[in-house]
Amino acid sequence: MSNVELIDGKQIASDIREELKGRVQELKEEGRVPGISVVLVGDNPASQTYVNMKDKAAEEIGIYSDKKEVSDDISEQELLGIIDDLNNDDEIDGILVQLPLPDHIDEHKVIESIDPAKDVDGFHPVNTGRLFSGQQDKLRFDPCTPKGIIELIERQGIDIEGKDAVILGRSNIVGKPVAHLLIEKNATITICHSRTDDLAGKASSADILVAAVGRPEFVTEDMVKEGACVIDVGINRVDGELVGDVDFEAVKEKAGPITPVPGGVGPMTIAMLMHNTVKAREHHGV
Ligand SMILES: Nc1nc(=O)c2c([nH]1)NC[C@@H]1CN(c3ccc(C(=O)N[C@@H](CCC(=O)O)C(=O)O)cc3)C=[N+]21
């Protein structure tokens, strides 16, 4: 008999999409269909996969979804022009520019050109600033993967308050924002990275361990405390297979609740993108 407590991200994401359907129905009755536009620069096959998953989720929930596919030699000015059009398009509530962008385009400049009220990725400095300063009273879009992690933990029935959370990775899209969200939930935070001394020692002190380092099976058994909640944010392709940042087989018996890859954090990212888009429409023009 297995004593593994799997956190079923696929199921939880499906529950969230179901909840969103009701909110979209109410908006539709007022003639206010939520709309998202995804801007895809170049033809990276992995990006295509994500964009297709977003399309499918939007369709299921009843969100209008539009795609702008442009060549990877597009100039920065042209790209900024597309975003300006979307900022001024009343049918569009959410704008997502798929990252990464080609080297000749300044990612920060592009993100800052998005209307913060349409920034469903939660990457604009207005939104990250409101997260950083704990402003929950203002319209704020939290980044999808970090917000999805919080939802996974809470919907699994795990209390965050007072817990020691250790985050492996300090990226702007996962490590830093998830730290702020966990602080907001009254956890105590340690962020570890490539220069951290005794990373294994720190990781193994965690009640909640978030692995977002982008290295396949980086987290081994000795880095996990007995019964700890383990959240695997990794999506590494190894020999055509999807592998997380956690050595799942080695860790699953020692850990408490643990997310699989695939079927953990990934589906939650898309569900939270849909959540942000519905929220954007609910606030749009009111
Ligand atoms: N502006 C921007 N926003 C993003 O949110 C964004 C981005 N750029 N660039 C790329 C990354 C990656 N990303 C994923 C979303 C869902 C899954 C997902 O659902 N994964 C499935 C598996 C899918 C598969 O089999 O490939 C799972 O983990 O179960 C993965 C990765 C969003 N990203």
Structural domain for 55, as ranges: 31-117
Same domain? 242 vs 198: yes
Query: Among residues of the chain, what percentage have pLDDT more than 90?
Result: 95
194-203 residues labelled b (16+ CB within 10 A) or e (exposed): eebeebeebb
| Type of residue numbered 237 | R
- Is the per-residue pLDDT at 147 higher than 70? yes
Looking at residue 94, what DSSP letter applies? E
Q: Is residue 132 one of the residues assigned to a domain?
A: no
Q: What pLDDT digit, counting tens, does each position of 85-110 carry?
A: 999 999 999 999 999 999 999 999 99
**Count of positions (residues) in the chain:** 286
- Predicted local confidence at residue 285, as pLDDT: 75
- Residue nearest to ligand 1 atom 1, measured at CA: 98
Q: What pLDDT digit, counting tens, does each position of 213-271 carry?
A: 999 999 999 999 999 999 999 999 999 999 999 999 999 999 999 999 999 999 999 99
For ligand 1, what atom is nearest to the CA of residue 47? 10
> Model ipTM?
0.97
169 is annotated as contributing to ligand binding: yes
> Which residues are near ligand 1 (CB < 6 Å)?
49-50, 53, 96-99, 121, 144, 235, 242, 261-263, 266-267, 269-270
Q: What is the CATH number of the domain that holds 243?
A: 3.40.50.720
Q: Is residue 51 within 8 Å of 84, Cβ to Cβ?
A: no
- Predicted local confidence at residue 3, as pLDDT: 86
Q: How far is CA 12 from the centre of its chain?
A: 14
How much helix, strand and coil, in percent to the nearest 5, is found in the chain? Answer: 40, 15, 40
171 is annotated as contributing to ligand binding: yes
Q: Is residue 8 one of the residues assigned to a domain?
A: no
Whole-number Å distance, alpha carbon 233 to ligand 1 midpoint, is: 10
Same domain? 173 vs 230: yes
129 is annotated as contributing to ligand binding: no
Q: Is residue 253 one of the residues assigned to a domain?
A: yes
Separation in Å, CA 41 to CA 77, 220, 242, 269? 13, 36, 24, 20
Q: Is residue 203 one of the residues assigned to a domain?
A: yes
